[in-house]
Amino acid sequence: MESRMLTLGAVVVALALVLGSCSQNPEQNPIIQEKFQKIAELAEQVDQIKASIKDTNADMDTVKQDLTNLKQNPAAAGGVSPAEIEELKSKVKNLDDEVSRLQSALSMKKKSEAAVEGGTKTEGKARKTEQPAPREKGVQYKVKEGDTLESIAKAHGTTAAAIRAKNLIPEGKEPRPSSMIFVPTK
């Protein structure tokens, strides 16, 4: 009987310690704070990807309009060769590919955000995992004031030409500050 009382007393003390560590205010719980932080980070990444999609769509619309104008009035092109028209077609395809890649990244970020939001609900349950599509090695980079393609390339061990080609940045142009670009790495 005495051992039962000691066991019961130990359980009550342990339960009191566990419940004492769980605050009435969930924002004070470090696990919940960590989840909120992760959600905030993912939300910021989603916003950056959305901005990149918007920029890429605007670029693609411009190139498509140029291509349409050239098709409708080749004489007005002022000596534009068929090769240059094909180059524009290629740029449109590359922009379409980039939009698809960005939309895929956005979808993955949203799934990740949903998993973090529902993490406490689904922890301990088996989760279905998806295999991401193989991607080119590289990083998303947010352009800072004063950055040039050369400085970005040097910092990431690549070339300005590789960045220019991957992001369809015209020769002689530099990316805008706060825009997101893909920096291929080796």
Whole-angstrom distance, CA of residue 41 vs CA of residue 121:
20
Domains, the chain, ranges and CATH? 30-117 (1.10.287), 135-186 (3.10.350.10)
- Identity of the highest mean pLDDT range in 105-109, 130-134, 174-178: 174-178
- Taking the model in full, what pTM does it have? 0.38
pLDDT for 77: 58
Q: Is the dihedral of CA 161, 184, 140, 88 positive or negative?
A: positive
pLDDT at 36 over 50: yes
Higher pLDDT, 149 or 39: 149
Percentage of residues in the chain with pLDDT exceeding 70?
69
Tell me the mean pLDDT in the region 142-171: 92
Tokens of 51: 């901005």
CB atoms within 10 A of CB 52: 23
Query: How far is it, in rounded angstroms, from Cα 129 to Cα 112?
Result: 11
Residue with tokens 């009191």: 16
Q: How far apart are CA 30 and CA 37, in angstroms?
A: 10
Mind listing the pLDDT tens digit for each residue in 78-126? 666 777 777 777 787 788 778 878 877 787 777 776 666 665 444 444 4
pLDDT at 155: 94
Mean pLDDT, all residues of the chain: 76
84 vs 82: CA distance, rounded Å: 5
